[in-house]
Amino acid sequence: MRRSVVAGNWKMHGVRADQARLVGALLEGAEDFACDVLVCPPFPYLLEISRQLSGSVWRLGAQDLCADPGPGAFTGEVSGTMLHDVGCTHVLVGHSERRALYAEDDALIARKFQAAQAAGLVPILCVGESLDERERGVTETVVGRQLAAVLDVAGVAALSRAIIAYEPVWAIGTGKTATVEQAQAVHAFIRGRVAVQDAMIARSVRILYGGSVKASNAAELFAQPDIDGGLVGGASLHADEFLKIGAAAP
């Protein structure tokens, strides 16, 4: 396990040919990264991409999973077991788009976190405040609540097999990056909250920043003491750009 992680969340972009081209370019350009690198393609492409990435440094993540371990009557859902079976090692849990567009609440996200770990996947727990919440000065209340919802159910020890991603909603896909000071402050807050329960886990848990990460701002963000890499959306769809972000991680 490396100290930092750079993960690409492709969201609902591209079709099969685009994905294959992107993966091909990532494989060609891959160097000996100092960080762990992974991509999170849409569900239908996971198996094929898993085969393409096999034997490389790249790891595979999914963007969501069913809160119920299954198997069972859950039409339209995909279980952690299935994701693990097709080669995923990681899965995003509680991405802000899931929270905002699909009404996922803290309780459901905590169940998804546990379902991921039960299936042998590393959950990447996403937390972050909206613009309105930041302007009202309740960033720490919101992020603290989102974190506590999972810690209360899964226990702090579960964080030794998880990653946290801080993604301020107002910085996602907007081109508006949190300043390094703003990002570092929330990362330090998150680590502090974990430290209250377990200082060792707080030191080792990797906390990624997400929200308009680009090659031009990655190094500065990753140089902050509590920023252990990035969860990259838009820029991860461009191999050159994404490879540069990977290379910027310490």
* Contact residue for ligand 13P among 4, 5, 6, 9 (CB under 6 A): 9
* Contact residue for ligand 13P among 155, 173, 192, 250 (CB under 6 A): 173
* Contact residue for ligand 13P among 52, 139, 212, 217 (CB under 6 A): 212
* Residue 50 lies near ligand 13P (rule: CB under 6 A): no
* Residue 190 lies near ligand 13P (rule: CB under 6 A): no
Residues 94 and 124: beta-carbon distance below 8 Å: no
95 catalytic per annotation = yes
The gap between the terminal CA atoms of the chain, to the nearest Å, is 13
State the minimum distance, in angstroms, from the CB of residue 172 to ligand 13P: 4
Of the candidates 97, 104, 167, 241, the residue annotated as catalytic is 167
Of the candidates 84, 95, 104, 129, the residue annotated as catalytic is 95
* Residue 119 lies near ligand 13P (rule: CB under 6 A): no
187 catalytic per annotation = no
* Contact residue for ligand 13P among 6, 218, 221, 231 (CB under 6 A): 231
* Contact residue for ligand 13P among 49, 159, 208, 213 (CB under 6 A): 213
State the minimum distance, in angstroms, from the CB of residue 232 to ligand 13P: 5
* Residue 250 lies near ligand 13P (rule: CB under 6 A): no
String of DSSP letters for the chain: --S-EEEEE-TT---HHHHHHHHHHHHHH----SSEEEEE--GGGHHHHHHHHTTSSEEEEES---SS--SSS-TT---HHHHHHTT--EEEES-HHHHHHS---HHHHHHHHHHHHHTT-EEEEEE---HHHHHTT-HHHHHHHHHHHHHHHH-GGGGGG-EEEE--GGGSSSS-PPPHHHHHHHHHHHHHHHHHH-HHHHHH-EEEEESS--HHHHHHHHTSTT--EEEESGGGGSHHHHHHHHHH--
**How many residues of this chain bind ligand 13P (CB under 6 A)?**
14
195: helix, strand or coil: helix
Q: Name the residue nearer to ligand 13P (CB basis): 229 or 233.
A: 233
Residues 103 and 144: beta-carbon distance below 8 Å: no
* Residue 186 lies near ligand 13P (rule: CB under 6 A): no
Binding mask 61-100 for ligand 13P (x = CB under 6 A): ----------------------------------x-----
- The contact set with ligand 13P (CB under 6 A) reads 9, 95, 167, 172-173, 210-213, 231-235
